[in-house]
């Protein structure tokens, strides 16, 4: 038996090359090494308001995108999170083992809400902080527990994550230990597989923030379904520093980000790209990057167009059937341990 991995993407916003380079490209490589379950996490998506019809459409599109980017349904299991009801059942049980303090310390929760009870004394009044906290939805607050449920439900051995998800995974490990200590050995403690540099693809308009499908400016990201000429335009307009030569350095974050994108798309090292453009300027470098992005998007979009809706439906039902068998068996064990009548 191969070790098992689990990961997923929310069906919200426009998937972009940062999503591909930061996660999906690496999933494609891992599916030969692991038994892979790749989910469309629509339950996570509704922690913010969604249009129901648009959510259904995007869920379907994400599945088709997985396949077009190289997730092979013969090697991996692709399914929709909400279709397997055990995700929410286990999340509720894990909630009873989770402390409020576990969740208020989550960095992503702090950054998304401005709620930080550990802020320096005097910078924000307790009353103001309480008002911020009281205005936040419970789903957003509880998001990491559902994520823990996603992972633990499948006896996941390894979770491929970027550094921005490390804290959530550590909570998952903590909750698994708490359950095992109280009820007996039940959950595997998942290991972390840290994704490579692609997990930190930054915005084209701001190299200090991750590329985001929810960014206000379309010049922050290159969407997988961008028109090809628009993608080239975004590359040519991407921010760079005031230097003249092409170097890969922490001191030049804008250029470093573009070099990372270039290298990952061509599957070479950033240093190899630097050598290619030795003695050349930004204009030549950006034209080369734009051509590489153009070629990648063209190949993806052509592949995407060949995948039928019926093919995607079959893949999702097959994946859900497989995931459900594992989830049902695990929850039968969990219910027995907890003391539920069955």
Q: Which of 118-122, 136-140, 222-226 has the lowest mean pLDDT?
A: 118-122
Q: What is the pLDDT of residue 150?
A: 97
pLDDT of residue 245: 87
Does residue 52 contact residue 301 with C-beta atoms inside 8 Å? no
Give the rounded percent of residues in the chain with a pLDDT score beyond 70: 97
- The reported pLDDT for the residue numbered 107 is 86
Q: How confident is the model at residue 122 (pLDDT cuts 50, 70, 90)?
A: low
- Cβ atoms of residues 189 and 176 within 8 Å: yes
> For residue 132, what pLDDT band results from cuts at 50, 70 and 90?
confident
Per-residue confidence band for 155, with pLDDT thresholds at 50, 70 and 90:
very high
Q: What is the pLDDT of residue 244?
A: 77
The model's pTM is 0.91
CATH value of 218-304 in 1.10.10.10, 3.30.465.10, 1.10.1240.10, 1.10.240.10: 1.10.240.10
Quick: pLDDT tens for 15-27: 899 989 988 998 9
Phi, psi of 159 (to 5 degrees): -120, 115
Cα–chain center distance at 213: 11
Q: How far apart are CA 6 and CA 150, in angstroms?
A: 8
Output 241 or 83, whichever has higher pLDDT.
Answer: 83
- The confidence score (pLDDT) of residue 198 equals 56
The pLDDT of 174-180, averaged and rounded, is 98
pLDDT for residue 32: 93
Mean pLDDT (the chain) is: 92
> What percentage of residues in the chain have a pLDDT greater than 90?
73
Q: What is the CATH number of domain 4-111+141-194+310-338?
A: 3.40.50.620
In this predicted structure, the answer to whether residue 175 has a pLDDT above a threshold of 80 is yes
- Beta-strand pair 191-194/4-9: unpaired
Among the residue ranges 50-64, 147-161, 192-206, 299-313, the one predicted with the least confidence is 192-206
- In this model, does residue 197 exceed pLDDT 70? no
Q: Where do the structural domains in the chain lie, given as residue ranges? A: 4-111+141-194+310-338, 218-304
Residue 109 banded pLDDT, cuts 50, 70, 90: confident
Mean pLDDT of 131-141: 90
* Position 281 pLDDT exceeds 70: yes
Whole-number Å distance between alpha carbons of 308 and 317? 15
- The predicted structure's pLDDT at residue 22: 85
Mean per-residue pLDDT for 121-131?
Answer: 76
């Amino acid at each position: 038996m191969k070790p098992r991995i689990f990961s997923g993407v929310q069906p919200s916003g426009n998937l972009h090359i940062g999503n591909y380079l930061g996660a999906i490209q690496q999933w494609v490589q891992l599916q030969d090494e692991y038994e892979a379950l790749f989910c469309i996490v629509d339950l996570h998506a509704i922690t913010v308001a969604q249009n129901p019809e648009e959510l259904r459409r995007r869920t379907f599109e994400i599945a088709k995108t997985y396949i077009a980017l190289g997730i092979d349904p013969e090697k991996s299991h692709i399914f929709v999170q909400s279709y397997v009801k055990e995700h929410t059942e286990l999340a509720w049980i894990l909630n009873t083992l989770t402390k409020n303090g576990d969740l208020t310390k989550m960095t992503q929760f702090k950054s998304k809400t401005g709620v930080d009870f550990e802020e320096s004394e005097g910078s924000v009044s307790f009353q103001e902080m309480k008002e911020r906290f009281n205005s936040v939805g419970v789903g957003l607050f509880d998001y990491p527990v559902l994520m823990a449920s996603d992972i633990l439900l499948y006896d996941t051995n390894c979770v491929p994550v970027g550094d921005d998800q490390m804290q959530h995974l550590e909570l998952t490990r903590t909750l698994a230990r708490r359950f095992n200590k109280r009820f007996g050995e039940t959950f595997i403690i998942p290991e972390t597989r840290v994704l490579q540099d692609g997990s930190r693809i930054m915005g084209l308009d701001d190299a200090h923030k991750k590329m985001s499908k929810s960014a206000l400016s379309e010049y922050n990201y290159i969407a997988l379904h961008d028109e090809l000429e628009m993608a080239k335009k975004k590359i040519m307009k991407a921010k760079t520093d005031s230097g003249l030569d092409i170097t890969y350095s922490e001191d030049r974050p804008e250029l470093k980000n573009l070099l990372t994108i270039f290298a990952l798309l061509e599957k070479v090292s950033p240093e190899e790209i630097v050598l290619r453009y030795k003695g050349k300027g930004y204009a030549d470098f950006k034209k080369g990057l734009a051509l590489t992005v153009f070629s990648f998007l063209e190949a993806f979009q052509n592949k995407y167009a060949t995948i039928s809706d019926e093919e995607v439906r079959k893949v999702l039902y097959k994946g859900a059937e497989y995931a459900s068998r594992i989830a049902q068996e695990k929850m039968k064990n969990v219910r027995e341990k907890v003391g539920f009548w069955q």
